[in-house]
A and B are shown apart, each in its own frame.
Chain A
Amino acid sequence: MKIVMAHGSGGNATRELIKNLFQKYLSNDYLDKMEDSASLPRSEYPLALTTDSFVVTPLEFPGGDIGKLAVCGTVNDLWMAGAEPQYLTAGFILEEGLDLDLLERLICSLSRAAQEAGVKIVAGDTKVVQGNGGLYINTAGLGYRKYYDLLRSDRIKEGDAVIVSGELGNHHACIMSQRMEIVNSIKSDCANLGPMVKGLFEAGINLRLMRDITRGGLGTNLNEIAETMNVMIEIEETRIPIDPEVKSFCDILGLDPLYMANEGKFLCIAPQEQEKEVIYILKKNSLGAKARVIGHVTEQGKYLVTVKTRLGGRRIVDILYGEGLPRIC
């Protein structure tokens, strides 16, 4: 069975689709009311709101799928702002020809990811467009800003440690391998960063800021931070965690893991005296097993990101110019 234009007509086929698939997997008190808007209870915390769209192909890949990605991506954005995710909305744009069994697997995966992340899908929408069996998902997320005040970017100073939560480039390399039909064992790192991040907040680390390292990669992220905070950052090439298989893949294709997308990694800047504690906390979670201090803030008052190379050379880490990346998240 496949999605046909009738599934988007608003008539019987639409109702059947919603009842048999979306409601079946995403059911909760808010969604089940089938109202035009979800009415949410008053919150004791200030709110954070974010949105993201997911257009990855293939829809399923080693380590995840677009459903899981649509939850993790939005949930991670909330965590990075010190907000504990509570509610999500999900809009699905289905292309004609999309296999219904595949759609069911993806919704099931989305539902599981939402449960694991402790969020409820409280509003949703589906549309059907002409196309070739593709699927796009938009999610918006609402979170309670429980930890927002713990992130103090104004306290960033010389000597602060730059820490990444794990190996870089896996998602990008995985998606490219799938598209190029290259057989390897690289898996996407698509994951909910919540447990790791919460661990840092609860331990009272004096975090300056956090960023999930998605499109544009670490290089682009660090440049944005350096520019906004007006600081110089130096990282060490040998300390950047990269899986050997991903590194070989990059070497063959001329890609630089510094600019490759991730879907389950973040970087944080913390006081140097707390760097060991940060690593200890991150490593308690299996997702943070390869967490490393990769460099430090070296100067304030001007911005630049440099990397000390393996042989002791030094080069500038620039932002990513142009496309560079296929659309993979």
Chain B
Amino acid sequence: MNLNLEKIIKEIKNYAGTNLKIMEVCGTHTASIFKNGIRSFLSPDIKLISGPGCPVCVTPATYIDKAIKLALKPDCILLTFGDMMKVPGFEKSLSEAKADGANIEVMYSPQEVLKKATSNINKTYILACIGFETTIPAYSLLIEELDKNRITNVKFLTALRRVIPALEFICSTDSEIDAFIAPGHVSSILGSEVYGELASKYKKPFAVAGFEAEHILIALYDLLKQKEKCKYEVHNLYPSAVRPEGNITALQHISRYFTPGPAYWRGIGFIEESGLYLKEKYRKYDAGSFDISDESDKLAPKCRCGEVILGKINPDECPMFAKVCTPVKPKGPCMVSTEGTCGIWYRFS
């Protein structure tokens, strides 16, 4: 495509067709859209909906509670990525639990645990493992190392998520999403071909995009054109990082250690096959990731994040929005991340 960016911006701004709801699935896309002011380029007839692709946001409250319980054991240390610290559990967040004396350390890479675990064999290190297919190879590589070196004082508390079952869920539940900007990083592992079935089955165009403002604008333009021509194809607009077949080595590595199972998504509900769990052979490394329960009634019964994510309502139609659910004290997944749909609405309104 020989495209002129000015022309693209003009077309997106002046679009006057039927109302379009376009979902950017990935949290990093959401962040880039926010950072680059992409919404200010959109015609009023185009609405961007932030999907469930922020793993921090969709992590259930029971998971946080479980992590806190482990971190309170005197011989356990919980290692977590920094952005998990403020996600609320039923009672408190990891950050609040740390202030109460729980052993919680922020990690920057899962590999950090190797040094810690070998030099401190009397402690058990619990890794709070969240993420989509992009981050999962890092965990499987770590298990390989642990297995090889017979390190036994590292355990995994997982809340790993798969993108395709989530998209299938969104497409199949009468959602109002017209088109998808497919995630860039996840697609570098899964490839672009995996969206083909969803595109033709549900008649939704997909554009795999990178993370610069230009990438996102081109993806939006591509989706507008596809809709105009009633096409439901998958266009890989990020070929520098995404191959049609994906990263076979990484995929094989993931399936060596992990197996799919049902998972609960905060504010959304159970989605079959949408989680990844340690295989039987490696379950000795698990810290209790399996007993997940439906928490929709307990956490925030009035939370309507599920409908926000499906594009059915705007955040301000939720009774909790800006009243009991705020960026400082978030309840639902869309408010947990400052780049979630509710977080953005909060600041723009």
Q: A residues touching B (Cβ–Cβ < 8 Å)?
A: 180, 253-254, 256, 307-316, 318, 321-323, 326
- Given A309-B213, A321-B328: A314 touches B40 (CB 8 Å cut-off): yes
B214 and A318 contacting across the interface, CB-CB below 8 Å: no
Task: List 15 contacting pairs A-B, 8 Å CB cutoff, sorted by A.
Answer: A180-B108, A256-B35, A307-B37, A309-B35, A309-B37, A313-B37, A313-B40, A313-B41, A315-B37, A316-B347, A316-B348, A318-B338, A322-B86, A323-B86, A326-B82
Main secondary structure of the interface of A (DSSP, over half): loop
A254: B residues at CB distance < 8 A:
28, 31
- B213's contact among A256, A313, A321, by CB below 8 Å, is which? A313
A311 and B35 contacting across the interface, CB-CB below 8 Å: no
A322 and B35 contacting across the interface, CB-CB below 8 Å: no
B313 on interface, CB distance cutoff 8 Å: no
B95 and A323 contacting across the interface, CB-CB below 8 Å: yes
A321: B residues at CB distance < 8 A:
327-328, 338
B5 and A311 contacting across the interface, CB-CB below 8 Å: yes
Q: Which residue of B lies closest to A313 (CB)?
A: B37
**Interchain nearest-CB distance for A61 vs B (Å):** 17
B79 on interface, CB distance cutoff 8 Å: no
B5: A residues at CB distance < 8 A:
311
B34 on interface, CB distance cutoff 8 Å: yes
- Cα(A254)–Cα(B83), bound, Å: 11
**Interchain nearest-CB distance for A239 vs B (Å):** 15
Which A-B residue pairs are the 6 nearest by beta carbons?
A: A313-B37, A315-B37, A309-B37, A313-B40, A321-B327, A314-B40
- Cα(A312)–Cα(B214), bound, Å: 12
- A323's contact among B39, B85, B213, by CB below 8 Å, is which? B85
- Given A321-B327, A323-B95: A311 touches B36 (CB 8 Å cut-off): yes
- A314's contact among B9, B37, B95, by CB below 8 Å, is which? B37
Known A309-B35, A310-B36, A321-B328; 14 more pairs at CB < 8 Å: A254-B28, A254-B31, A308-B37, A310-B213, A311-B5, A311-B9, A311-B36, A311-B214, A314-B37, A314-B40, A315-B40, A318-B347, A323-B86, A326-B82
A323: B residues at CB distance < 8 A:
85-86, 95
**Which of A256, A321, A323 has most B Cβ within 10 Å?**
A321
B36: A residues at CB distance < 8 A:
309-311, 313, 315
Using an 8 Å CB-CB cutoff, how does the interface string of B30-64 with A read, 1 for contact, 0 for none?
01001111111100000000000000000000000
B214: A residues at CB distance < 8 A:
311
A309: B residues at CB distance < 8 A:
35-37, 213
**Interchain nearest-CB distance for B325 vs A (Å):** 13
A315 and B86 contacting across the interface, CB-CB below 8 Å: no
A314: B residues at CB distance < 8 A:
37, 40
Q: Which residue of A lies closest to B34 (CB)?
A: A315
B95: A residues at CB distance < 8 A:
323
A180: B residues at CB distance < 8 A:
108
A256: B residues at CB distance < 8 A:
35
A308: B residues at CB distance < 8 A:
37
**Interchain nearest-CB distance for A114 vs B (Å):** 34
**Which of B9, B82, B328, B348 has most A Cβ within 10 Å?**
B82
- Cα(A311)–Cα(B347), bound, Å: 22
**Which of A310, A311, A322 has most B Cβ within 10 Å?**
A311
- Cα(A321)–Cα(B95), bound, Å: 14
**Interchain nearest-CB distance for B165 vs A (Å):** 26
**Interchain nearest-CB distance for A255 vs B (Å):** 10
A322 and B327 contacting across the interface, CB-CB below 8 Å: yes
**Interchain nearest-CB distance for A76 vs B (Å):** 28
- Cα(A312)–Cα(B5), bound, Å: 12
- Cα(A46)–Cα(B255), bound, Å: 72
A311 and B86 contacting across the interface, CB-CB below 8 Å: no
- Cα(A156)–Cα(B3), bound, Å: 44
- Cα(A312)–Cα(B82), bound, Å: 32
Q: Which residue of B lies closest to A251 (CB)?
A: B211
B37: A residues at CB distance < 8 A:
307-309, 311, 313-315
**Interchain nearest-CB distance for B13 vs A (Å):** 11
B85: A residues at CB distance < 8 A:
323
Q: Which residue of B lies closest to A306 (CB)?
A: B37
B213 and A311 contacting across the interface, CB-CB below 8 Å: yes
**Interchain nearest-CB distance for A256 vs B (Å):** 7
In the complex, chain B residues 186-218 whose Cβ is within 8 Å of any chain A Cβ: 213-214, 217
B38: A residues at CB distance < 8 A:
313
- Cα(A321)–Cα(B34), bound, Å: 15
Using an 8 Å CB-CB cutoff, how does the interface string of B263-305 with A read, 1 for contact, 0 for none?
0000000000000000000000000000000000000000000
